[in-house]
Amino acid sequence: MKFQSLVLSATVLSLASASVFAGNAFYGDAPDANHPWAVHDQNRPQPPRVEPAATVGDAPSDAVVLFDGTTESFQRNWQHVQAKDERKADWTAQEGHLLGVGGAGYIETQAQFSDCQLHIEWSHEMQLPGTGQGRGNSGVFLPGGIEVQVLDNYNNPTYADGTAGAVYGVMPPAANALRAPGRWQSYDIIYRRPIVKDGVVLDEGSMTVLVNGVVVQDSTPLDGGGGWRERKAVTTVYPEQDRIRLQDHGNPVRYRNVWVRSLRPRPVDGGTDGRISAEATTAKRAEIAAEVRASAADLLGCDRMMRILEAYMYDNDPAAWSECDALVSAYVAGLQVLSSDELEKQRHPVTQLRNALTFLQRFSMIPKTYAPEQELKDLAGQQGWLKK
Ligand code: MG
């Protein structure tokens, strides 16, 4: 009687509230030693929604807008590096852009950032004096001080690893994709800081740069980060967070439409997406199992049983399997006393459960021989569900 109640309540509940996960939880390859999630895991959180801008190049909804053309946004987000009495001029917001002039020194963001996506646009006067590094030199310094060069080298040769779009002193851009001086240029920069701990290089960091939509740096290794006439060691330690800076190199330059987004952490930096360490995987699998198990508390009957089985998939905890085994055994025992007509109503949950058990066996999470699994197969055979 008790077992029949379980079966019947499960049937009612299944009809009333079909889980969005129904039939999909045991689907792709299972979690393993370096992947806390299954392939196509329906329990994996949905990516956060980001509302893109109406125009590509403008700030999406989750960006920190560092300069929108107004004096107010300049004053709120930026500060001069040098004190007032140590510099000869100021950066100013005018006519929708940020104007840097010689003697104003660097400016830097008030906030600090780490790995980020940075969009920034810049332009020069149509006809600038100077040659080589002396024509329209400025620079975008990512957190930690690694420079993406800004220069008017549209038609102005200089050393390649110091041209616009270069990771300065490290890597020339793959192409000179500049527009003619006087027009606006755009940079989209994806920056991953070097991560060195206790002298061990965990990730030397990388930079991807698009100049006017053209990829000129493609996950370029930072090779220690460069500098003027300087090659740094790959073991150079960079801060976890730092300000973004714009360079005063003595030449006037204009910037506009500056925004930044934080990037999700890499596995080496605490991220839990992708292939991660065995230690991090174990911890994450336990966390997922706890969340899934907690969500089972709101369920009854078959839905609850399936959630408990799902939770077990993540942590393979023996105590958790005891609970699974008890639920499955009780459910299968309940099925044994049903008439053929009543069993027919159980076809969907039985199929789900069989799929789950087969899945767990395939990934050696439960024994290859498991009596309730064989009993389910026998019942399915009796009902003619195994016919093709
Ligand atoms: Mg520069």
List, as one string, the DSSP characters of 17-60: ---TTTTTSS-SSPPBTTBSSPTT-TTSPPPPP----SSBTB--
347 Cα to the center of ligand 1, angstroms: 70
167 Cα to the center of ligand 1, angstroms: 10
Confidence (pLDDT) at 128: 87
Residues 238 and 279 in one domain: no
Confidence (pLDDT) at 388: 66
Mean pLDDT of 332-351: 96
Show the tokens assigned to 120.
């920034």
The CATH number covering residue 111 comes to: 2.60.120.560
Q: Does residue 27 lie within any of the structural domains? A: yes
| Integer Cα distance of 208 and 180 in angstroms | 23
Instruction: State yes or no: pLDDT of 163 exceeds 50.
Output: yes
379 Cα to the center of ligand 1, angstroms: 75
Residues 24 and 142 in one domain: no
Single residue among 269, 296, 330 that ends a domain in this structure = 269
384 Cα to the center of ligand 1, angstroms: 76
Residues 36 and 103 in one domain: no
pLDDT of 172-210, one tens digit each? 999 999 999 999 999 999 999 999 999 999 999 999 999
146 Cα to the center of ligand 1, angstroms: 11
C-beta of residue 151 within 8 angstroms of C-beta of residue 163: yes
Confidence (pLDDT) at 63: 98
Confidence (pLDDT) at 125: 87
Residues 72 and 114 in one domain: yes
Confidence (pLDDT) at 30: 97
220 Cα to the center of ligand 1, angstroms: 18
Q: Residue 17 — very low, low, confident or very high, per pLDDT cuts 50/70/90?
A: very low
Residues 164 and 232 in one domain: yes
Confidence (pLDDT) at 126: 84
Residues 124 and 171 in one domain: yes
Residues 97 and 200 in one domain: yes
Residues 214 and 342 in one domain: no
Q: Does residue 199 lie within any of the structural domains? A: yes
163 Cα to the center of ligand 1, angstroms: 9
| CB neighbours of residue 154 within 10 Å | 18
Mean pLDDT of 360-373: 96
214 Cα to the center of ligand 1, angstroms: 20
DSSP 29: S
138 Cα to the center of ligand 1, angstroms: 4
| CB neighbours of residue 350 within 10 Å | 21
Chain position carrying tokens 């996506």: 117
Q: Does residue 282 lie within any of the structural domains? A: yes
3 Cα to the center of ligand 1, angstroms: 76
263 Cα to the center of ligand 1, angstroms: 25
Mean pLDDT of 121-147: 95
367 Cα to the center of ligand 1, angstroms: 64
Domain that holds residue 181: 68-269
| Integer Cα distance of 82 and 133 in angstroms | 23
Q: Does residue 59 lie within any of the structural domains? A: no
Residues 10 and 147 in one domain: no
Single residue among 235, 254, 269 that ends a domain in this structure = 269
Confidence (pLDDT) at 319: 95
C-beta of residue 201 within 8 angstroms of C-beta of residue 223: no
246 Cα to the center of ligand 1, angstroms: 9
Instruction: State yes or no: pLDDT of 158 exceeds 90.
Output: yes
227 Cα to the center of ligand 1, angstroms: 10
| Integer Cα distance of 244 and 317 in angstroms | 47
Instruction: State yes or no: pLDDT of 1 exceeds 50.
Output: no
133 Cα to the center of ligand 1, angstroms: 8
Residues 372 and 280 in one domain: yes
Single residue among 226, 252, 269 that ends a domain in this structure = 269
Confidence (pLDDT) at 331: 97
pLDDT of 81-128, one tens digit each? 999 999 999 999 999 999 999 999 999 999 999 999 999 999 998 888
Q: Which helix (H) or strand (E) holds 291?
A: helix 278-296
| Side-chain-facing half-sphere of 65: CA atoms under 13 Å | 15
Domain count, the chain: 2
| Integer Cα distance of 243 and 145 in angstroms | 8
Residues 89 and 198 in one domain: yes
151 Cα to the center of ligand 1, angstroms: 7
Confidence (pLDDT) at 14: 40
Helix and strand tally (H, E) in the chain?
Answer: 8, 17
Residues 259 and 277 in one domain: no
Chain-wide mean pLDDT for the chain? 93
Q: Does residue 62 lie within any of the structural domains? A: no
Confidence (pLDDT) at 24: 58
